[in-house]
Amino acid sequence: MAEQINAFHMAQQQFDHVADMLNLDPQVREMLRWPMREFKFMIPVRMDDGSRRVFFGYRIQHNDARGPAKGGIRFHPAETIDTVRALGMWMTWKCAVANIPLGGSKGGVAIDPSTLSVHEKEQLCRGWVDQMWRNIGPRQDVPAPDVGTTPQMMGWMMDEYSKLVGQYTPGVITGKPLGGGGSEGRTEATGYGVIYHVREAMKHLNMEPTKSWAAIQGFGNVAQYAAIGFIEILGGKVACVSYWDRKDRTSYTVSHKDGIDPHFLQSITDQYGAIDKDKARAAGYKIESGEAWISKDVDVLIPAALEGQVNAETVQKISGRVKILAEGANGPTTPEADEVLKARGIFDIPDFLCNSGGVTTSYFESVQNDMNFYWTKEEVLTKLDEKMTGAFHAVLNMSEKEGVYMRDAAYMVAIGRVVKAMELRGWL
């Protein structure tokens, strides 16, 4: 995607579209179309063979009017300043729509981490913090894991920061392991958050959750807990999930006529979200092509794998029974497919609203770090439900009041909140 479409131009276009709808002042637009601060820096790392290799790191702080900036750090070979700018801008809107008092940021290093030894990865993480520590912190900017970064890496980064500032500061970074400053409920948070949104959408559409079926794409962190939540929170059934098979270099849909058992499938799934299809088949599951999930005769579709999966071609395969598309993944729906969804009256829960349970629980993590007092899983999930339910209804109200599509309404709520904070602070 990064090679074909410039992600930052896309993020600016989306913003411009809603800025037009809101009739935003040109000066305000200019302040929001660009990041407030950008850092690009060199991270020299002593490699295991004794040589020194230079990496380039980025941190983009798009906007911090509503509170400290928040956003992950990506280690990916295709990382560029523009992908990081786009992701930082999207974080501003995601935190604002979830109504958590944080701004938006993102960081990265152009590297495939699987090519580094454990020691080299640790040096890279510590080197990133050595360059950025004056400009991150619990009151400034709080990083987190993203593609290619792990809870262990967050632990190294937190340790490096704590050494540099001279005091233990777990709240500088989230996504830490449990027992190392992490929060209960973070594993479930994004998938369950998707389900809290689906529950509210079903109430709005007068659907009966216990009679509903869902089809889910993916079986990683988000999809697994979306599947468990759909069954255990809503009382519905899940027809299928899907996954990418590295060995066969293709994707498969794994379905069951009576509905899948996500706990059983978890027991035969590896850490990358790949299911052992032979064991699934032996247990009575049907293995179909990777695209089969989207044409299932279900009430709810939950893409929770990759971007661009609901596109001009696949959108045509969606069954007439589908009433809700809940975007667990980031950017799963292309603009062409969006037009078809609108025309067919399928209720869309847009990605940065639908999957905001993850960042909301990261926010809870840093709050608990600041207090040095930790909540139970039940307390975390109850607070998450309140936040997600509130966010959903704010967007639904905007959609009904202005007569606009849910995606546009979510942008309108988010941008409106950021602009209000900028006004209150006297920036405008």
Least distance CB 141 / ligand NAD (angstroms): 19
Residue with smaller CB distance to ligand NAD, 128 or 219: 219
Give one DSSP letter per residue of 343-372, joined into a string: HHT-EEE-HHHHTTHHHHHHHHHHHHHHHT
Least distance CB 233 / ligand NAD (angstroms): 17
Binding mask 190-209 for ligand NAD (x = CB under 6 A): x-------------------
Helices (H), 233-308: 262-267, 277-282
Bridge partners, residue 241, by sequence:
254
304 belongs to the binding site for ligand NAD (CB under 6 A): yes
What are the backbone angles phi and psi of residue 162, rounded to the nearest 5°?
-60, -40
222 belongs to the binding site for ligand NAD (CB under 6 A): yes
225 belongs to the binding site for ligand NAD (CB under 6 A): no
213-217 and 73-75 beta bridge pairing? unpaired
SS3 180: coil
83 belongs to the binding site for ligand NAD (CB under 6 A): no
Q: How many residues bind ligand NAD (CB under 6 A)?
A: 23
Which whole-number Å values give the CA distances from 294 to 23, 28, 186, 242, 367, in the listed order?
Answer: 37, 40, 28, 10, 39
* Cα–Cα dist 52/142, whole Å: 29
Type of residue at 210: T
243 belongs to the binding site for ligand NAD (CB under 6 A): yes
Which stretch in 105-113, 219-227, 335-343, 372-380 sits in contact with ligand NAD by CB under 6 A? 219-227
Which stretch in 35-43, 213-221, 337-345, 410-418 sits in contact with ligand NAD by CB under 6 A? 213-221
234 belongs to the binding site for ligand NAD (CB under 6 A): no
Longest dimension (CA), the chain: 65
175 belongs to the binding site for ligand NAD (CB under 6 A): no
Among residues 133, 141, 120, the alpha carbon closest in space to that of 46 is found at 120
Choose, by CB under 6 A, the member of 182, 229, 273, 350 that binds ligand NAD. 273
Choose, by CB under 6 A, the member of 68, 170, 171, 220 that binds ligand NAD. 220
Which whole-number Å values give the CA distances from 223 to 238, 309, 361, 397, 420, in the listed order?
Answer: 11, 14, 17, 28, 35
Site for ligand NAD in 321-380 (CB under 6 A): 328-330, 355, 358
Instruction: Tell me if 215 sits within 8 A of 310, measured CB to CB.
Output: no
Give the active site residues. Answer: 106
Choose, by CB under 6 A, the member of 8, 15, 58, 244 that binds ligand NAD. 244
Return residues touching ligand NAD (CB under 6 A): 190, 217-223, 242-244, 251, 273-274, 290, 304-306, 328-330, 355, 358
